[in-house]
């Protein structure tokens, strides 16, 4: 199977490339300067030249804070760019997997969100991603939109690496404890995407495996508990660690509002695609060990 993923340095793009290297999946990346999702006019030709069997829309404008002051750019990339990619895939008659987010919800429910729950974003980033979902679905019926959350990995900037970088002379790190969600390893997500793609290619007429699905790590926690698990895994690998003090969101004001409940129900994904990501705690140790090893290599 040959797939194209947009982006080159994103967490999921790098995870797909790594997982593809160790499997029968050939993963090609499509990123700047070859294409620019903010100016996607040359996207169809660039994608067609690679002759993929499917495409993964992973590149995005991901700065939740900056999106509040750069809404036009956020929409250009997350909505219009995603639409152009979906249209290019439709022209090639191939499926598209589009990555979306828990931030399409406002977080007010007292249970995990299902795919049929009405979206209601509370920040520009969430609004731009929701619009992207809508445009992708309209541009290419042969799609699977995968909403995920709290992504971390050995690659790029993410919460796990940020927590480890904060350990220095601090005896304690304050972390928000009243927002709940499911930490999701980008490597696990990549494995899940491969399974979804195989299904889409093998079952071209199956409507049940197309549409919107939720894909997050199993179980749930809050940011403070996630930080504690990161430091526990780091300590077990002789790495840095710190005490964590749980604080309220109101004690850590941000420009963009965040949903208090980012839990997503993954039942539909398992029922339709047979995909179930591991429990979030089961994937932390490997990632933290790799981050520590990489940081050590940089210092020697």
Which residues are tagged catalytic? 125
CA distances from 181 to 74, 111, 217 (A): 24, 11, 9
Exposed / middle / buried, residue 204 (Cβ in 10 Å: 0-12, 13-18, 19+)? exposed
**Alpha carbon 236 to chain centroid distance?**
27
* CA dist., res. 89 & res. 206, Å (int): 18
Q: Report how far residue 189's alpha carbon sits from residue 192's, in angstroms, rounded to the nearest whole number.
A: 5
Quote the CA–CA distance of 197 and 52 in Å, as a whole number: 12
Distance, CA of 259 to CA of 57 (rounded, Å): 24
Cis peptide before 286 (omega within 30 of 0): no
Q: What spatial distance separates the first Cα and last Cα of the chain, rounded to whole Å? A: 39
What one-character DSSP code corresponds to residue 242? -
Q: CA 225 to CA 180: how far, in whole Å?
A: 10
Sheet hosting strand 96-101, strand order edge to edge? 26-30, 2-6, 54-57, 96-101, 143-148, 211-214
């Amino acid at each position: 199977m040959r797939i194209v993923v947009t982006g080159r340095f994103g967490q999921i793009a790098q995870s797909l490339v790594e997982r593809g290297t160790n499997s029968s999946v050939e993963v090609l990346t499509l990123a700047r300067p070859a294409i620019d999702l903010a100016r996607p006019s040359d996207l169809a030709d660039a994608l067609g030249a690679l002759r993929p069997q499917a495409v993964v829309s992973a590149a995005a404008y991901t700065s939740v804070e900056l999106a509040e002051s750069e809404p036009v750019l956020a929409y250009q990339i997350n909505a219009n760019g995603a639409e152009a990619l979906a249209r290019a895939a439709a022209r090639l008659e191939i499926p598209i997997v589009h990555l979306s987010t828990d931030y399409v919800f406002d977080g007010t429910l007292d249970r995990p969100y299902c795919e049929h729950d009405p979206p209601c974003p509370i920040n520009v980033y969430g609004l731009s991603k929701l619009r992207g979902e809508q445009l992708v679905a309209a541009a290419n019926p042969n799609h699977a939109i995968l909403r995920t959350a709290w992504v971390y990995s050995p690659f790029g900037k993410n919460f796990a690496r940020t927590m480890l970088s904060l350990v220095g002379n601090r005896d304690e790190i304050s972390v928000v404890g009243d927002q709940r969600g499911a930490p999701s390893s980008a490597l696990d997500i990549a494995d899940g995407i491969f399974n979804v793609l195989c299904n889409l290619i093998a079952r071209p007429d199956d409507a049940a495996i197309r549409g919107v699905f939720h894909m997050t790590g199993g179980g749930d926690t809050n940011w403070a508990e996630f930080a504690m698990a990161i430091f526990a895994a780091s300590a077990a690998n002789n790495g840095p660690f710190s005490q964590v003090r749980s604080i309220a969101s109101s004690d850590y004001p941000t420009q963009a509002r965040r949903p208090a409940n980012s839990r997503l129900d993954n039942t539909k994904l398992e029922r339709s695609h047979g995909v179930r990501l591991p429990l979030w705690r089961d994937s932390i140790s490997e990632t933290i060990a790799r981050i520590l090893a990489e940081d050590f290599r940089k210092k020697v």
